Amino acid sequence: MTSALAGLMLMASSLPSLVDQGDKEFTRIRYPQAVDLYITALTSSADSAEALWRLARVYVCQADISPDEQKLELYRQAEAFARRCIEADSMKSEGHTWRAAALGNIAVFEGGKTKVKLCYEIKRELECSIALNDSDDVAYSILGSFYMALGNVSWFERRLAAIFLGTLPDGGFEEAELALKKAIAIAPAVIRHHYELGLLYMQLDRDREAVEEFHLVESLRAQLASDRRSQSAATDFIAQLAQ
């Protein structure tokens, strides 16, 4: 065996190990360490879809807890890694899911016309992800948040958007509830799913159901750094709804 071939085999065998180590650091909510390991995995295989979608995920999660002035750049990095994942393997559902997550956050920083354009792109990515993997709870959860945002757009605002920006996708609160409940059915221990459903119920004045979801948020184990903020907010919402 030549030394070059042996080197290639060693690099290939190290890829799963590096990704696994990165996953352990991600689970420990040690995001910078996870990034380093996933980036190192890319030195073994620059088009590793497994490393690329995980980088998109960790950059979204890091952005969620970062100062406002740092968020946009981190979300853009997440979107770039997700796009590379899709280019490497368009059948990898996680690439589409985390690109949608990144784009949804990028849209917050954009003007109206770009927001409308991104709406269709986000929806398309989520539908693609779910078509590839009907058990992707994250995709359903983001879809629920997406529809909740659409439900908050009034008829008048939709008319204005249609005139000046372009029509918005169909959907609203009913679709949001269905998607979030689907996410919970797949992964009942994930805080985000219950927190978003609680927010939806608050907007629909279904206070008892909102409080039930927020109590679940308080009781579940934090799996992401942003979960701690959600738990704190849930506690505040419970007190607010009790008044």
Residues 174-189: pLDDT tens digits? 999 999 999 999 999 9
Architecture of domain 134-243: Alpha Horseshoe (1.25)
- Which whole number is the average pLDDT over 38-53? 93
Is the pLDDT confidence value at 73 over 60?
yes
Phi-psi region of 191 (alpha: psi -120 to 50; beta: other; left: phi over 0): alpha
The C-alpha atoms of residue 49 and residue 84 are separated, in whole angstroms, by 8
Contact 74, 41 (CB under 8 A): no
Q: Which CATH superfamily is domain 16-110 in?
A: Tetratricopeptide repeat domain (1.25.40.10)
3-class DSSP state of 90: coil
Q: pLDDT band at 168, cuts 50/70/90? A: low
**What is the 8-class DSSP label of residue 206?**
-
- Which whole number is the average pLDDT over 31-57? 95
Closest CA to 194 of 215, 221, 174: 215
The C-alpha atoms of residue 181 and residue 188 are separated, in whole angstroms, by 9
Rounded percentage of the chain residues whose pLDDT exceeds 90: 75
- Which whole number is the average pLDDT over 186-214? 97
- Which whole number is the average pLDDT over 66-81? 97
Residues 208-220: pLDDT tens digits? 999 999 999 999 9
- Which whole number is the average pLDDT over 127-140? 98
For the chain, residues classed under CATH 1.25.40.10 are 16-110, 134-243
Q: pLDDT band at 231, cuts 50/70/90? A: very high
Q: Which pLDDT score is estimated for 220?
A: 98
Phi-psi region of 29 (alpha: psi -120 to 50; beta: other; left: phi over 0): left
Task: Give the lowest-confidence range in 43-47, 67-71, 121-125, 126-130.
Answer: 43-47
Tell me the average pLDDT of the chain: 89
Is the pLDDT confidence value at 158 over 60?
no
Contact 145, 175 (CB under 8 A): no
- Which whole number is the average pLDDT over 142-163? 67
